[in-house]
């Protein structure tokens, strides 16, 4: 009896599954493509739920050197060069302009549970699964799918090895076929794309495109760059549809009428349900025959892969990072000569002027590294000697003007070296003041620490939101925050800063990982992803050091855990306020509002989220710290007033 009950349940599940196969479209993968540890079904490919297991499909690939010819693109994607050249209306020896959309015809077929078109790739030095999927193949595959296809448990890739790369494609479902859809095109979304814009470009109906990519809808049309969007087509795509901007299309085909609109549609609908009924009854009969076999096959299926905490990409990224090229002396001199006309606020010094300001760079004027204190026109300045190209840093510093960003006042170029002249921060780097292990007696009270945190947040918010284009600092740490005579913070060292806007068609990642241990965000360390959320993570580390009085290296070694776990005890309600007091810098001797420390630690916790999209924006952080500072100042005033009252009485 129990067995029959189980079989009955299985029959119901099979009927529901059959219905879902009739109606289901494909899931839109959204941001899961950038989380290589997320092995959800949508990241592995499009489900084999189409009417056919094999079909003609099309991909869009954007031409970029070295893949900018018919031959090179055909080789990379294992496509027939004659078919590729024919559909793009070019010769087989043709080259494409950079970022030109190239239509790639493929024979899409089911492999296991997923549709795909397989190609092979020879790994290069520095490649990762993420780089191959999202940069080389531009998002036509995913790091999860490449790893799964090559049965890898680790992320190691050996240069020269041949990898199988499954490209994302799909065949129309029965629903789509019934309304005249014959092909699905895998389109790689770029910055600025919209579902309606892409649909119009390829002559598709917007609602049909949304339906083809669940859970997208008119109320939820959000799409993300470097992911694939399935475009349902009634005819093969043509080369004139890949021209940007596209030509104004003729009126798009009207959406199909509802079933009650005409006798023909009623007839078609009735036939469809006859087919469904026959299929269901056939399935029931077949189930009774082989039910037990299927039951054991289904319920003894191997365990799915373990999932680890996801890492998502934030909304805004920079272009692929390349190492700086050293300029020839002549080019540097030309750049120097142009500064006076470009940047009115930057003075061009002669070397002898800087030598006079620093007493020939006397050791008594040495501050740290290659930085010296100089006296210019009666005011102190910080003079830094730099090797290599500084044009990008100078150009950025010339564009920005903010109290919380260190100001560049002058430059000099001599004998192959650059000298940058900055405003002088009297109290030096924050790192000299916040660590309780320092033995020089330097100390910051609670309100000063909150003010410094707010200053740094305000400076970063300016870089992220008010520069054009937005910029990422990329090297926020205590030694790169300088304090003026009033202990107001200024962010320094913008040598690693870069644009947060991606160049069209490029993914925001780098192979050249540079930074300070402990401050670098996990998505940057693991995959080379660059975004403004890198600064948010580093800022969280910085505030953690400010309130605990400990260096991040000490926090790691003491706790022997992920940095985001360090706060668990302090924020635990079961441990009460004692663990919270133990966590705060003991040099403060309890002189701080305990309720505000909880707010600060919660803010830090959000900044250290492993998922970048869960981290707050700097604007939100600035507002939170501003409220905390106001309350801290009120608390400080009440403490002082209470102390004065107790003395007078």
Q: Is 459 domain-assigned?
A: yes
Q: Is 277 domain-assigned?
A: no
Cα separation, 550 vs 554, in Å, equals 6
- The answer to whether residues 338 and 411 belong to one domain is yes
Domain-ending residue, one of 234, 258, 278: 234
Q: Is 448 domain-assigned?
A: yes
CATH code of 405's domain:
3.30.200.20
Residue in 475, 535, 585, 605 annotated catalytic: 475
Count the residues in the chain: 649
Q: Is 435 domain-assigned?
A: yes
Q: Strand ranges (DSSP E) for 189-307?
A: 213-214, 228-233
- The answer to whether residues 203 and 55 belong to one domain is yes
pLDDT in tens, 248-269: 343 333 333 333 333 333 333 3
- The answer to whether residues 207 and 341 belong to one domain is no
Q: Is 298 domain-assigned?
A: no
pTM (predicted TM-score): 0.55
Query: Residue 346: which pLDDT band, with cuts at 50, 70 and 90?
Result: confident
- The answer to whether residues 102 and 179 belong to one domain is yes
Is residue 269 helix, strand or coil? Answer: helix
- The answer to whether residues 450 and 419 belong to one domain is no
Structure token digits, residue 237: 């795509």
Cα separation, 54 vs 384, in Å, equals 64
Between these two residues, 309 and 28, which has the higher pLDDT value? Answer: 28
Q: Is 124 domain-assigned?
A: yes
Q: Strand ranges (DSSP E) for 296-432?
A: 347-348, 366-368, 371-376, 379-386, 408-414, 417-423
- The answer to whether residues 77 and 172 belong to one domain is yes
Number of folded domains in the chain? 3
Mean pLDDT of 500-521: 71
Return phi, psi of residue 259, to 5°: -55, -30
pLDDT in tens, 164-177: 999 999 999 999 99
CATH code of 529's domain:
1.10.510.10
Domain-ending residue, one of 377, 403, 423: 423
Residue 333's pLDDT is: 52
- The answer to whether residues 88 and 120 belong to one domain is yes
Give the C-alpha distances (Å, rounded to integers) separating 573 from 540, 543, 568, 578, 606.
22, 22, 10, 11, 17
Query: Residue 470: which pLDDT band, with cuts at 50, 70 and 90?
Result: confident
Residue 583's pLDDT is: 86
Active site residue 605: no
- The answer to whether residues 377 and 451 belong to one domain is no
Q: 422 has which bridge partners?
A: 382, 408
Structure token digits, residue 529: 């992803």
- The answer to whether residues 490 and 580 belong to one domain is yes
Structure token digits, residue 576: 């009460």
Cα separation, 603 vs 204, in Å, equals 45
Domain-ending residue, one of 208, 234, 260: 234
- The answer to whether residues 387 and 526 belong to one domain is no
Q: Is 614 domain-assigned?
A: yes
Pairing of strands 213-214, 26-27: parallel
Residue 610's pLDDT is: 87
Residue 440's pLDDT is: 75
- The answer to whether residues 75 and 183 belong to one domain is yes
pLDDT in tens, 26-37: 888 877 766 677
- The answer to whether residues 418 and 432 belong to one domain is no
- H helices of 300-390, in order, are 329-342, 351-357
Domain extent, residue 341, equals 326-423
- Residue 320 clears pLDDT 70, i.e. is over it: no
Q: Is 252 domain-assigned?
A: no
């Amino acid at each position: 009896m129990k067995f029959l009950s189980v079989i009955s349940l299985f029959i119901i599940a099979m009927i529901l599954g059959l219905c879902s196969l009739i109606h289901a479209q494909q899931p839109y993968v959204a941001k899961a493509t950038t989380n290589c540890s997320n092995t959800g079904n949508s990241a592995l490919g499009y489900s084999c739920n189409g009417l056919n297991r094999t079909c003609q499909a099309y991909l869009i690939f954007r031409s970029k050197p070295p893949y900018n010819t018919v031959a090179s693109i055909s080789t990379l994607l294992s496509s027939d060069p004659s078919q590729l050249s024919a559909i793009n209306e070019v010769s087989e020896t043709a080259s494409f302009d950079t970022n030109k959309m190239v239509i790639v015809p493929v024979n899409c077929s089911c492999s296991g549970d997923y549709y795909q078109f397989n190609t092979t790739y020879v790994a290069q030095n520095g490649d990762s699964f993420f780089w191959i999927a999202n940069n080389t193949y531009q998002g036509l595959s995913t790091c999860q799918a490449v790893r799964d296809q090559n049965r890898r448990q680790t992320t190691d890739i050996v240069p020269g090895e041949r990898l199988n790369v499954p490209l994302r494609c799909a065949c129309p479902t029965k629903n789509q076929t019934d309304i005249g859809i014959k092909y699905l095109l895998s389109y790689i979304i770029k910055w600025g794309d919209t579902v309606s814009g892409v649909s119009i470009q390829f002559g598709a109906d917007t609602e049909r495109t949304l339906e083809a990519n669940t859970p997208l809808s008119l109320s939820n049309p959000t799409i993300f760059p470097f992911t694939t969007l399935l475009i349902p087509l009634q005819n093969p795509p043509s080369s004139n549809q890949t021209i940007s901007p596209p030509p104004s299309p003729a009126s798009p085909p009207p959406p199909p009428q509802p079933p009650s609109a005409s006798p023909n549609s009623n007839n078609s609908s009735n036939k469809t349900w006859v087919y469904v009924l026959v299929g269901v009854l056939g399935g029931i009969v077949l189930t009774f025959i082989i039910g037990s076999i299927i039951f054991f096959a289904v319920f003894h299926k191997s365990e799915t892969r373990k999932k680890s905490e996801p890492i998502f990409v934030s909304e805004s990224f920079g272009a692929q990072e390349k190492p700086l090229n050293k300029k020839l002396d002549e080019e540097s001199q030309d750049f120097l000569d142009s500064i006076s006309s470009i940047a009115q606020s930057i003075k061009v010094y002669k070397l002898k002027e800087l030598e006079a300001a620093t007493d020939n760079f006397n050791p008594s004027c040495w501050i740290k590294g290659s930085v010296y204190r100089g006296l210019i026109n009666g005011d102190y300045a910080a003079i830094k000697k730099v090797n290599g190209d500084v044009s990008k840093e100078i150009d950025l510093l010339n564009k920005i003007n903010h109290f919380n960003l260190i100001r560049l006042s002058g430059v000099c170029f001599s004998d192959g070296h650059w000298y940058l002249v900055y405003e002088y921060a009297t109290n030096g780097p924050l790192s000299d003041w916040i660590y309780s292990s320092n033995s020089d007696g330097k100390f910051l009270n609670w309100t000063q620490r909150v003010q410094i945190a707010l200053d740094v947040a305000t400076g970063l918010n300016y870089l992220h939101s008010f520069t054009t284009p937005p910029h990422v600092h990329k090297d926020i740490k205590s030694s790169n925050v300088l304090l003026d005579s009033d202990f107001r913070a200024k962010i320094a060292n913008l040598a690693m800063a870069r644009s947060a806007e991606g160049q069209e068609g490029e993914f925001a990642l780098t192979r050249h990982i540079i930074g300070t241990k402990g401050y670098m965000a996990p998505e940057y360390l693991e995959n080379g992803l660059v975004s403004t959320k890198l600064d948010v993570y580093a800022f969280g580390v910085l505030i953690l050091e400010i309130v605990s009085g400990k260096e991040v290296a000490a926090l790691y070694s003491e706790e022997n855990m992920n940095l985001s776990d360090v706060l668990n005890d302090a924020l635990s309600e079961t441990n009460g306020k004692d663990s919270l007091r133990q966590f705060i810098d003991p040099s403060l001797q309890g002189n701080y509002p305990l309720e505000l420390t909880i707010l600060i630690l919660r803010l830090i916790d959000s900044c250290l989220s492993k998922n970048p999209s869960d981290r707050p924006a700097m604007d939100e952080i600035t507002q939170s710290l501003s409220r905390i500072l106001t309350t801290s100042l009120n608390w400080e005033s009440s403490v002082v007033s209470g102390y004065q009252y107790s003395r007078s009485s």
